[in-house]
Amino acid sequence: MKKIFITIGFVILGALLLFLVSYKNQTDNFSGFLDTSQNQNQTPTYPEQVLISVPFTSQAPFAQWEDDRFQDGCEEAAVIMAVAWTNNQTLTPQGVTDEIIRVSAWENEQYGSYHDTSVEDTVDRIINRYYNYPNVLTSRDSTIDEIKKQLALGKLVIAPIDGTIIGNPNYTQPGPPRHMIVVVGYDEVQQEFITNDPGTRKGENYRYNYETFFNAIRDYPTGHKNPILGIEKKIIIVGKP
Confidence category of residue 46, pLDDT binned at 50, 70, 90 = confident
The pLDDT, as a whole number, for residue 43 is 64
Whether the predicted pLDDT of 196 surpasses 90: yes
Closest CA to 64 of 121, 104, 108, 107: 104
d(CA 50, CA 207): 13
12-16, 134-138, 155-159, 162-166, range with the lowest pLDDT: 12-16
Instruction: Tell me the DSSP string of 173-237.
Output: TT--SSEEEEEEEEETTTTEEEEE-TTSTT-TTEEEEHHHHHHHB----SBSS----S----EEE
Q: Residue 139 to residues 100, 101, 125, 201, 210: CA-CA distances in angstroms?
A: 26, 29, 17, 28, 18
Closest CA to 177 of 196, 199, 204: 199
Confidence category of residue 27, pLDDT binned at 50, 70, 90 = very low
Alpha helices in the chain (DSSP H): 2-37, 68-71, 74-86, 93-111, 119-121, 144-152, 210-216
* Average pLDDT of span 141-169: 98
d(CA 33, CA 6): 41
Omega before 174 within 30 of 0, i.e. cis: yes
Residues in the chain: 241
| 93 HSE (CA, 13 A, CB side) | 6
The pLDDT, as a whole number, for residue 42 is 58
Judge residue 142's burial from the number of C-beta atoms within 10 Å of its C-beta, 0-12 exposed, 13-18 middle, 19 or more buried: buried
- What residue type is 66 in one-letter code? E
The strand pairing partners of 209, in sequence order, are 192
d(CA 159, CA 121): 13
Confidence category of residue 8, pLDDT binned at 50, 70, 90 = very low
Judge residue 209's burial from the number of C-beta atoms within 10 Å of its C-beta, 0-12 exposed, 13-18 middle, 19 or more buried: middle
